[in-house]
Chains A and B, each alone.
Chain A
Amino acid sequence: MKSGLYGFLFAMWGLIIIGGGIMVVLLGPFTIQQFGDFHWIIASGLKVTIALILVVIWILILSKLKNWIFKKELNS
């Protein structure tokens, strides 16, 4: 079980780094120019929405990973 916990920690670390990459490379430079003075508010709103969707996806991945790692260990 303990090796599974280390694996889970390592997987979380990897997901944090990949998530950071998506934030910096894709989400950070994202801008909208068509809405006059309000373009930054709309762009920020969209960034927040995408960031929240990413968080939900990350939690789902972690849940699946948790079930996979720990069920595998309990069965062995």
Chain B
Amino acid sequence: MIELIIPAIISCILSFSVVYFTTPPLIKILTKNNFTVKDMNKKESVMVARPGGISIILGILVSEIVLYGFFQLNEILAVIITTTAAFLIGYVDDRKVMGGWFKPVTLAIAALPIIFLGAYDSSLSFPLFGDVQIPILYLGLIIFMIPITGNTINSIDVLNGVASGFMVIASFTLSICLFILGNYEIAIVSLPLAFVSLAFYKYHKIPSKIFPGDSGALTFGAMYGTIAIVGGVEIIAAIALLPAVINSFLFLSSVKRIVEHRQIKGKPVEFTSDFKLKATNDKTAPVTLVRLILANGPLSEKQVGLAIFKLAIFSGILAIITAFMMGVSL
């Protein structure tokens, strides 16, 4: 057991410290070079540094490379390559406005190393009912899963601190579930994601000093999806991510096509005179998680973020119950 505890502690400390200490200088460099965007949810004109994905990927790479030194698992290589590719895809999108096709297609390509490295098991585990072998279908699942998790996290990156805070809850849940299922090595591989998110949340929480950008959000989502695949916890991972999945589902079912958020003309949310968020009556605007949370009346940005975190904790509890149910057979 000690051979697992030491790498786990080292990778957790490294992932947290790298992001914690590299983000402040990154904010200075980005601000100095005018890599800033307006925070649309603030009354005053506040410019915020972007993209924070650079410190996020740095924290992930350092900790995962150290873990590879300990375990030499193909699963860790798959995490490193796919996550780095997702970061690069997001970084391109941060610097240059790309078409709606760009992220889904390139993220699907970023998933290929998981297949080439054989870092997956083609059976899908369900609670109460056991496993089902789907060798061909599973390849399709890998190709689809990374774009879905990447874009799902990207789609909830709408308010200060929400994407990183949500990732803290979802990734700690995923690690706990992997420990419950006895998949200790992948549980340790997943811990840096939780600690990187936690360190980044310090600077991303309201009022944000830095935004993760597409590079940060896609890095979070792609690493989460890769861990779900290499750890064989796809269903549990999907359950822990349900509030973000609902957001994407509501958006797609109201818009009825795959489009970038910036292409939507109708605004789902507007501001009251005291700068609280309020749901609009605009019928052309998409239905989103934030719009539904605001349906009963205006709330501050902080209150909306808190409501999303409560939903994430609720789905995290459902995911942990599901992990316990994996050991039960009907």
Contacts and interface: CB of A to CB of B under 8 A. Distances in A.
Contacts of B292: 1, 4-5, 70
Contacts of A8: 246
Interface stretch (B175-183, B236-244, B263-271): B236-244
Contacts of A47: 134, 137
Contact of A74 (B127, B243, B295): B295
Interface string B120-156: 0000101111111111110010000000000000000
B307 interface: yes
Contact of B315 (A9, A44, A73): A9
B132 A27 contact: yes
Contacts, number: 85
B129 A44 contact: no
Nearest to A19: B126
A48 B242 contact: no
Interface in A1-15: 1-2, 4-6, 8-10, 12-13
Given A59-B249, A59-B253, 6 more contacts: A1-B293, A16-B238, A20-B129, A23-B126, A24-B131, A66-B250
Interface of A: 1-2, 4-6, 8-10, 12-13, 16-17, 20-21, 23-25, 27-28, 44, 47-48, 51, 59, 62-63, 66, 70, 73-74
